Structure 1
Amino acid sequence: MIEWSYAINQWKPSFDDFTRRRDHERALRVISISGFTGVELTTGTGRWEPLGNPEQLAANFGSVRGFADFVRDAALDRVSSWFYDPLLGFREDLSAPADPADPDAHASVRAHATWFASALADLGGQVLVVRPTASAWQRPQLDDGAIGTIAKCWNDVGRAIAPLGVRLALHFDFLSALRPDDGLERLIAATDTETVGFSVDTGEFVAAGLDPVAFIDRHPHRVAHVQLKNAAAVDDRDEYTRRNAEHHVRKGGGARPVPRWFLELGVAPGLVDAEAVVRALVAHEYDGWVTVESDLSPHPPTSAMLNGWYLQHVLQSIVEEAR
């Protein structure tokens, strides 16, 4: 069965925004009234990230389960998933960024992934979504040895969190070092089919020139999570290799520039066929969360409501017709 959640990351455009409980309550209520039943959290560290990690949840809501109550009070069922980026260090334990391509960082990645997965289990969540490696400008070459090292890291993490009832999903983004030389497919081949799944982020796939429907058809049993969002453009100029692409390309729009890489579902001139994606999931009997996302939205509540309308009046009918 497909369940629908919404990513809360779009509410935090800068480090000192979205820090008050009143703001969190309003965002969760907008997500709920828009037709979603879960919320996806994202990694953060320090006092300006009260929803960023288990320690901050406990500090701001009394406990991790206290935050679960806060979510339910907003008429949402649960936290569906948590996006964890190991390349972000944590002030809470003074840990440095950990690169899965570095064998010496694997213990840190595994420990932090287990930290998030344990909290996620308390929140009723089922999927730990992770960024599997650095951006292409940081690691321009991933030879077979590097792919093997990254795969070993995530194989270990997958085995570590499986007993918690949490599945691992590796997330591909259009700036990823996995983009050149068929890196994504090479990583799929190198990882454990039982414990390592993948997150299909439709907007990121299309921005990278990939077809998310073809990926679902090719690897239906590896799809453990879906992030559904629209894309406004394709990075067909290889700007993802530009230094500091996160700032200059993703946020700045690149040389063209692109005003917004990602749009709401069903909005022209979007390039993602969300209906085809959902039909593919239904055809392969996908059972799990689809997280709708509109990161970098200038108006998060509006984006959530527009996406909610599209869910309720277009996508949900595709799921119901298949029952």
Structure 2
Amino acid sequence: MSSFIPKSNLFRFERSWLLNASFLPSVLPAWLSAPQCSDTAGKLAACLKVTRAAAKTWSWRNRAPPQLIPNCKFIIELLDFFEEQRSLSSDELQTRETCKHRLTSAIKERAAFWKQRSKFKAIKESDANTAFHHAQATVRHRSNQIRAVGCQGQLFTNHDAKMTALSDFFASIIGQPGESTWHFHADTLYSNVSQPSQAPVAPFAEEEIKSALVSMNRNSAPGPDGFGPAFYVATWATVKNQVIEFMNAFHIDDVQLERINRSYMVLIPANLPAKLLSQNLGKNSHCQASKRDPQPH
């Protein structure tokens, strides 16, 4: 069935790109050429924006053909067969080594690509790139489809109606920000005790920031900006200046966080049969998502 649901062209950083020797030299100059901004958060956002555009262009130009791995295997086997009949020339030997090197790189890139999507933590990246990885990624992709939303006793399948129902529901429970008034000073809490350590409120050190990045899961899903921890770890020598400047500005409370403070609101589909779903919608007044609607949209 056709669908008119709009889909934005979201950017997702792929860890497999880091295994290609031409990726970082092609993308990092864009980070260094980002426009200047007075605010450190705006400067960091500008660097990410131009780098994201450069990564998209590189990915489009360096997309491997689908028959790359079979072709490399065929050439290697063909030259091995020729070697049994005669001695290979220097050009043939070099061609076989080039194919072996490219085949190894392609297999590593494909394994990293599917591991990032499968999210199966019990499998290590060094394992074989089997159909199990592909099945895990396919199942996750299919389970993320929400075909119907129930709210206030009604079932919505149209995209605009679902968007309106969800927006109204979450707006009603989030509320409006209020004002907080402190009737005491924090300094007076420790007036009669020994001076606490200043380490928790000391400025961030470069080693501390890098250690936090290294400790993060590099296969975790990227944030709204599209970049995950793997990008910052691999390009730390280039991006550390902007990151450290942002952390220092955050420490002294001199940064506009709204420039980079974005988040996704994710709905969890409810695995309920249609009959049970209709009963629950009559009893509950809250919104509920279903992925088993008889009329998928």
TM-score bracket, normalised by the shorter chain, equals under 0.3
| Greater RCO, 1 or 2 (C-alpha within 8 Å, sep 6+) | 2
Rg larger in 1 or in 2?
2
More strand by share: 1
